[in-house]
Amino acid sequence: PDLSTLVNLFDLEPLAAARMTTMAYEYVASGAADEFTVRWNRQAFDAIRLNPRVLVDVSQLDTRLSLFGQELPYPILIAPTAFHKIMHPDGELATARGAGAASATYVISSFTTTPLDDIARVASGPLWFQLYMSNDRAYTRDLIQHAEAQGCRALCVTVDTPVLGARNRQQRVGFALPDGITTPLMPNAMAPSTSLTWHDVAWLKSVANVPILLKGILNPDDAELAVQAGVAGIIVSNHSGRNLDTVPATIDALPRITERVAGRIPILLDGGIRRGTDVLKAIALGASAVLVGKPICFGLAYGGAAGVTKVLDILRDELELAMALTGRATLADIDESVIWRSNR
Ligand code: FNR
């Protein structure tokens, strides 16, 4: 594939679809039930207008940030997504190489189809690990220690999936992993726990030696409990609309959570980020950084490691454009005043 002609992330999806099996495409592209939340994730970003300033010196753009003691060159991470080998034969190895080439942090899914040691061997950028807790605490403890030993610098504990959503499009194509593709960290189709509570977060804290983020927070009351529980950060996420349909867009849920958390811990956000302006809007409304899911899967399917790098490069370039054109030279300059308020 000629990646040089790819101009934005929307153009990527049909190109990737043409190279994917129907089953893999439906797995990546679909949301739960009627996909209202999938659409709202996009519509909510589109509905936010920007309020630029002019005659600001934007000759030195600075997108760097510090997060949990880690220096990131720009505020875009790879969201954890499962089963990369159904998207590209090199699977998670290609994702890790692509992330490294773009200096991006790669959050590895519990449902990786490649062992962690193999990913760690090819990774040149930071790795984090996404954890689905099972009911088996010994198993979960071993998994955390394994991820830490392989160099994962943070744990994203997914809390919005006690059960999978009503994934009708996956049901229609009879989604199943092809023969020969397995999930070494989640053998025997080990399901996430349905009985997880805040008590388990306290236990996790006692086991983990790296920062813990709770992924899948939409309610400010849960954000408050997360702060009380002493976690390092939260990820405002609706799982790309794949679990509970008709929950709001993450960018609509963000302002109340930002208000409640009041700067006590960093807030990350994912769901529908496709443009540099979306990244800017999320930061303006209180996110420290964002994660990207589907476009990474499509980049992987279309161009392997180079496709993953290309997706990150496009988003990063677009963020810099958005900063220059709104007159915000640094991430700290991206505050609420960059959002257009029609009643003022
Ligand atoms: C996901 N997501 C996800 N989340 C998680 O915690 N563990 C996982 O294994 C997966 N797997 C997964 C597979 C695929 C194909 C998708 C699209 C998503 C959710 C993911 O981490 C993230 O929350 C969303 O993908 C972000 O939204 P966008 O960028 O995909 O719109």
Q: What pLDDT sits at residue 339?
A: 98
Pocket-testing residue among 240, 250, 274, 294, ligand 1, by greatest number of atoms within 8 A of Cβ: 240
pLDDT at residue 135 greater than cutoff 90: no
pLDDT at residue 295 greater than cutoff 70: yes
Task: Tell me, rounded to whole angstroms, the distance of Cα 105 from its chain centroid.
Answer: 10
pLDDT at residue 233 greater than cutoff 90: yes
CB 80 within 8 A of CB 99: no
The dihedral formed by the CA atoms of 161, 162, 166 and 167, expressed in degrees to the nearest 10? 50
At 216, phi and psi to the nearest 5?
A: 115, 30
Relative to the CA of 38, which ligand 1 atom is closest? 31
Ligand 1 centroid distance, CA of 81 (Å): 5
Angle, helices 294-326 vs 22-29, to 10°: value is: 40
Residue-wise DSSP of 128-185: EEEEPPPS-HHHHHHHHHHHHHTT---EEEE-S-SS----HHHHHTT--PPTT---TT
**pLDDT tens string 256-283:** 999 999 999 999 999 999 999 999 999 9
Relative to the CA of 216, which ligand 1 atom is closest? 23
How much is the mean pLDDT over the chain?
A: 97
**pLDDT tens string 86-104:** 999 999 999 999 999 999 9
Q: What pLDDT sits at residue 245?
A: 98
Ligand 1 centroid distance, CA of 293 (Å): 5
Q: Mean pLDDT throughout 51-77?
A: 98
Q: How large is the ipTM?
A: 1.00
CA distance 119 to 97: 9
Ligand 1 centroid distance, CA of 98 (Å): 18
Q: What pLDDT sits at residue 108?
A: 98
CA distance 159 to 15: 33
**pLDDT tens string 305-325:** 999 999 999 999 999 999 999
Relative to the CA of 273, which ligand 1 atom is closest? 29
Count the Cβ atoms, other than its own, within 10 Å of residue 114. Answer: 23
Q: What pLDDT sits at residue 1?
A: 85
CB 326 within 8 A of CB 52: yes
**Ligand 1 lining (C-beta closer than 6 Å):** 27-28, 41, 79-82, 109, 111, 130, 158, 215, 237, 239-240, 242, 270-273, 292-294, 297
- pLDDT bracket for residue 296 (50, 70, 90): very high
Ligand 1 centroid distance, CA of 316 (Å): 20
pLDDT at residue 188 greater than cutoff 80: no
